Chain A
């Protein structure tokens, strides 16, 4: 027998909680982070935005684009500006490997500012979202799970799902 050196790293300390509850939506600025990939998330966030406005919220959108090079640097600046102007962050959509990575990245960035934050993922990618949140040091990050697959459905079907998911989504957000 010999002594061998461990090739792995210990995970980061899991120090972050789920963050504050959103409380009532009335009078709050709710920010939806959308992307350039998932039309289903455009439809879901559109439905949720309309319902949030009905509940008294002011809704803002920010669309993430390329994450590399100068455009990537610009995205982080835009994201920070967006987060500075909202009281609640809704970040999606974790519906593939890379977009789950960036959804959780942006959600962790939002949560670190102290505002109520929820990352939205589809069922197939919920475990990845949880793993990435844990490895990002915040395993308790709020995550709302939508059915999967979502993007192969027709728009009307997705919007029906969005409306049905609105109340559960609010519960995840702590409303």
Chain B
């Protein structure tokens, strides 16, 4: 889909021949990063970190790395619901300091987030501390230095933080997500600055890659509405069954969004370190069995809720005398990443009424 106002000859391709594709309003500003950041921040474009001035040359360098027309409309992002074009994404990616080669990943993530089932209209306005996490599969992980080994969710460096920040600036400047104005997030989350972007360590996983299991082989992104990250530590378990049960019980807690009466739906997300993944797979070679155990154990007894809460518990997740966080085992997302230091699993509690989306990177 392209902007209807721009009916021009496209036979020369996205590079444009004699066509000047760029339609954004131009402003005169300093090319000094400190001065530009101050100026851009005053205009509401910034997130508090230094911004790279999005000059025409820099933006064109980004556009050259994706085979899409600059005026192509990638999505309509709420709450602003304006036309989010490839050009506008490139402008924000420049400001974020991303690698031009990351444009296809950024675009794929934004497209995935714009799908109705992801419920971005709610995520961008909620009082909750949610941020869309982006899990990357395929060779593009190494091409863009997206970490999937030690400290992959933060601290490893590489290309992920700038990709995440580009997406966050798109949410700010194109979706119109503004704290206290459109976003009512009571606490916010550090993930709203540089996102949560990491890869799956496919080579160490005993199961097929996450995106492939969800129908997209090769380079792909999966976006998930994450309420931050939670660590699950264990030094006792010596078998896959005990470990998996222990991790599953760590996923269910009072106050999880999945327990809210407003959450008609909720997913679970678990990342195993490679050591634990192999230990679990020795007893559960099929990932469906892993999902089943996690779903069963990620539950709480109805009797554990204070008086008055039982009426609000979502009946579809109540099975007998227990309330499950997720509706079904298929709603449990399992991945493998992290260091070889063992001892820890990672969960990302879901915001609730949002379904993760997997999309191919074009």
| Partner-B contacts on A (CB < 8 A) | 1-12, 35-37, 65-69, 71-73, 96-102, 105, 125, 127-128, 131-132, 135-136
Cross-chain contact A69 with B81 (CB below 8 angstroms): no
A2 to B32, CA, bound (A): 10
A132 to B121, CA, bound (A): 10
**A–B complex contacts, Cβ < 8 Å, 28 sampled:** A2-B30, A4-B53, A5-B22, A5-B25, A5-B55, A5-B56, A7-B91, A7-B174, A9-B82, A9-B83, A11-B82, A12-B80, A36-B262, A37-B262, A67-B119, A67-B353, A68-B355, A69-B265, A96-B126, A97-B125, A98-B123, A99-B262, A101-B124, A125-B184, A131-B181, A131-B182, A135-B79, A135-B176
Q: Known contacts being A11-B82, A98-B126, A135-B81, is A2 close to B264, with CB within 8 Å?
A: no
| Partner-A contacts on B (CB < 8 A) | 22, 24-31, 36, 44-45, 53-56, 59, 78-84, 87-88, 91-92, 95, 116-119, 121-128, 169, 173-174, 176, 181-185, 260-265, 353-355
A37 to B262, CA, bound (A): 5
A105 to B27, CA, bound (A): 34
Q: How far is the CB of B38 from chain A (nearest CB, A)?
A: 13
Cross-chain contact A7 with B36 (CB below 8 angstroms): no
Residues from chain A with Cβ under 8 Å of B122 in the complex: 67, 97-99, 101-102
Q: How far is the CB of A91 from chain B (nearest CB, A)?
A: 15
Identify whether the interface residues of B are mostly helix, strand, loop, or mixed: loop
Cross-chain contact A68 with B95 (CB below 8 angstroms): no
A55 to B184, CA, bound (A): 37
Cross-chain contact B79 with A101 (CB below 8 angstroms): yes
Cross-chain contact A69 with B117 (CB below 8 angstroms): yes
Q: Known contacts being A6-B26, A35-B262, A37-B261, is A98 close to B91, with CB within 8 Å?
A: no
Nearest residue, chain B, Cβ from A65: B264
Q: Known contacts being A7-B173, A69-B265, is A128 close to B184, with CB within 8 Å?
A: yes
Cross-chain contact B31 with A72 (CB below 8 angstroms): no
Cross-chain contact B123 with A5 (CB below 8 angstroms): no
Q: Known contacts being A35-B262, A135-B176, is A6 close to B91, with CB within 8 Å?
A: yes
Picked from B27, B169, B173, the residue with its CB within 8 Å of the CB of A4 is: B27
A10 to B45, CA, bound (A): 13
Residues from chain B with Cβ under 8 Å of A8 in the complex: 44-45, 173-174
Q: Known contacts being A3-B28, A5-B91, is A66 close to B265, with CB within 8 Å?
A: yes
Residues from chain B with Cβ under 8 Å of A6 in the complex: 24-27, 91
Picked from A4, A10, A66, A101, the residue with its CB within 8 Å of the CB of B26 is: A4
Cross-chain contact A2 with B117 (CB below 8 angstroms): no
Picked from B24, B116, B128, B174, the residue with its CB within 8 Å of the CB of A98 is: B128
Residues from chain B with Cβ under 8 Å of A67 in the complex: 119, 122, 264, 353
Cross-chain contact A7 with B54 (CB below 8 angstroms): yes
Nearest residue, chain A, Cβ from B354: A68
Residues from chain B with Cβ under 8 Å of A1 in the complex: 28-31
Residues from chain A with Cβ under 8 Å of B24 in the complex: 5-7
Residues from chain B with Cβ under 8 Å of A100 in the complex: 125, 184
Residues from chain A with Cβ under 8 Å of B80 in the complex: 9, 11-12, 135
Leading 8 A-B pairs by shortest Cβ distance: A66-B264, A97-B184, A98-B122, A9-B82, A37-B262, A97-B126, A101-B125, A5-B24
Residues from chain A with Cβ under 8 Å of B95 in the complex: 7
Nearest residue, chain B, Cβ from A137: B81
Picked from B121, B182, B264, B355, the residue with its CB within 8 Å of the CB of A105 is: B121
Q: Known contacts being A4-B53, A5-B59, A132-B182, is A97 close to B261, with CB within 8 Å?
A: no
Picked from A5, A7, A10, the residue with its CB within 8 Å of the CB of B82 is: A10
